[in-house]
Every structure is written in structure tokens, then in C-alpha cells.
Chains A and B, each alone.
Chain A
Amino acid sequence: MKYTKYVASAAGLLGLGALLVACSPAEPKLESGYDFATPETQAMQDDDFSNPGFMWVDIGAEEWATVDGEAGKSCESCHGDLSTMKGVTTSYPKYNADDKKMRALQHQINNCRTEQMKAKAWKWESDQMLGMSAIIKNQSKGMPLNVSIKGEAAPFYEKGKEFYFQRRGTLDMACKHCHIDYPGVKIRAEVLSNGLPNGFPTYRLKWQKLGSLHRRFRGCNSNIRAEPYERGSEEYTNLELFLTHRANGVAVESPSVRK
């Protein structure tokens, strides 16, 4: 009698444990948007030549070696060959002590331009910025995302997380309603994905051009009838940190091709 009681309570504990695991926000390995795409879209991405995102990679390659600004420098003057950028972006967004906040790759590029090169900052969605971020991220293609949310980054991660779970807009929806609750399920004719940032900047068939992650955020926010934030804003940069951490371990695909 006593014995069975122990077994029952052990089973109960196990059950509780299983329940906790099921409820825990730590999810199994998430799939890239690539895995949700049709074979035709995947094929377009698979071949670096047929992937139209590489037109911007070409722009990035040209800009890397182009001297600009009063300091008479190019990216190459300080960093040397592009291959030195391998693995660099997997840890972005990154906390910056001067700014006392997170820097997305674009912030870092513009910081190099204004501080080191004494050149004009690029607009977030300009062809040069898209090209430069695409070619730098492309150096880490195939490497797993690996951002840190420890130490100084922790409060920014919390803010990003809060944004992700916050209902907003006329439709009163949070990011998580589509991308955590329903990946793989259709919303009208659209298949929802995990909403990961590993392929950005991405060539969207809909945009017919390369576009930034923050452009996509603006689109998502407008879709749920919420007021979008500015590209490069603190809100979106913190959200990028949360998303990238969520995607830690998923391989970089930039520039990817998406519907």
C-alpha cells in the first residue's frame, strides 16, 4: 500500500515535470523560413546566381573597397579583406558601452562611416546599406546565430521580449500569436513561419527587392493595424535581439529568398 503511494507520487511528479517542459518557452529547434518555402522559392535561394539578393551583395562588395568621407578611408582600409567578417554578425545585435544600448549591424556600419571614415551615414533601407549588411552577413552563411543576452544586454532582451508578447493594433495581436502559436498553419493562403531573422536582409518576391528585418517588422505591425516604429529604432533593435536569441543555433542564410 505504502509502496504504491510512492509510485503514484513519483508518477505525479514526472507528470508535473512533463507539463512544465511543455509550458516552458524554450522551444525545440526552430525551422528557418526556408523550410516553410515552396521548392521553387528554395531553388531560387539555393543558387547564388539565380538569387536576386546577390545583386545587392555586388553593391556591398563595391562599397567595401570604396573610399568615402573626409578620413579618406574605405571599409577595407581598416578591416582588410571581407573574409575577416566571417562569423562577426552572428553575435549581433550587440551591447555597446558608448551608446549604452544595443547596436544592430546597420548601426555598427553607420558608426564606422561617421566615426572612422568621417562619411555620411547611410539610410537604413538604402541600396548601399542593404548591400553592405547583406555581404557582411553572407560571410557567416551556414554559421549558427549566437547572440548573448547576458550582462548589459539582459534588460534590452527583456524589452524585446515584452514587445514580442505585447498585444497591439486594431487586431489586438502580438508577434507570438502567429509565430509561436501557429507556425505551419495558414492565415488565409499564407503559411505562417517561426518568424526568424536568420535570412535577412531578404529578397522578398513580394517586394521584388532586398529588404531589411526592420522593414519586415513594419509590415507585420501594419498588418495587425498597429503603428509601426522607425527602422533602426530602439524598439525594433531590442525586438531583433529577442528574435535572434530565439533563433540562436539556426544557420545564417543572408541574403535569403522569401515569398
Chain B
Amino acid sequence: MSKKPRVKVPKQAKAGELIQLKTLMSHVMETGNRKDSKTGKLIPRQIINKFVCKFNGKEVMSAELQPAIAANPYIAFYAKATESGTFDFEWTEDGGEVIKASGEITVS
């Protein structure tokens, strides 16, 4: 399945308001501990190992994921609305591939 992120950023908020951000990334999160049932060989680890959220270029939150995170990693958290701008989200996969998504918010 293609690695496609879903992000939920409220379109509007009042200054000082607490908003919840939700992210979902399609990924199998292969642990590296499983064996292929046909060949008996270990399936190499392949996970999303890092997640970063920035607002207008400044880091809000980041996370380092381990194989103990379930497939299709879901991360939800909060941010305080201060000004209008863009939330940028980045997921880094083992091997270095980076998948990006973003969401705009208007703060009044």
C-alpha cells in the first residue's frame, strides 16, 4: 500500500485556543522480529522511525517511534493557536525516505 499520510488540522481557531491535531500514516511497521511463513527467514525491519510537526517552521513536537508502535501509526496531540499559518508534518522511514503533509489554519 502506498505511504499516504492523513492529517487533521482545524481550519479556524481563536488566538490562545487549544487545538487538537491528528495524524495517520499508512505503513505496515514491520518489526524485524517476524519470520516469513514460507521461507522461514526473518523479514527485515521497516518502520516509520521519526515524526516531526512544525508550525511556521518552528518545531512543536517530535517523536521517535519503535517497532512497538502499531501498523498505520496514529499520533494525536495538541497545539496552542497563536497566529495563522501552516503546520508541516514529516515522517521518516527506515532507509531515510521522508513523507510530508501539511495543513493550514486561520487564527482570528
Contacts and interface: CB of A to CB of B under 8 A. Distances in A.
Interface of A: 49-50, 52, 54-55, 58-59, 127, 208-209
A154 to B, nearest CB: 40
Given A49-B22, A49-B24, A50-B24, A127 B1 contact: yes
A49 B8 contact: yes
Q: Please list the 9 inter-chain residue pairs (A to B) with the smallest Cβ-Cβ separation, ordered nearest first.
A: A208-B71, A55-B26, A52-B72, A49-B8, A127-B1, A49-B22, A52-B24, A208-B70, A55-B6
Contact of A58 (B6, B28, B70, B72): B6
12 contacts: A50-B22, A50-B76, A52-B24, A52-B74, A55-B1, A55-B24, A55-B26, A55-B72, A58-B6, A127-B1, A208-B28, A209-B1
Q: Give chain B's interface residue range (CB within 8 Å of chain A).
A: 10 to 19
A202 B21 CA distance: 25
A209 B4 contact: no
Interface of B: 1-2, 4, 6, 8, 22, 24, 26, 28, 70-72, 74, 76
B64 to A, nearest CB: 21
Contacts of B6: 49, 54-55, 58
A156 B89 CA distance: 51
A138 to B, nearest CB: 15
Nearest to A207: B71
A50 B8 CA distance: 10
B24 A209 contact: no
A255 to B, nearest CB: 13
A40 to B, nearest CB: 13
Contacts of A58: 4, 6
A132 to B, nearest CB: 14
A49 B56 CA distance: 24
Nearest to A130: B1
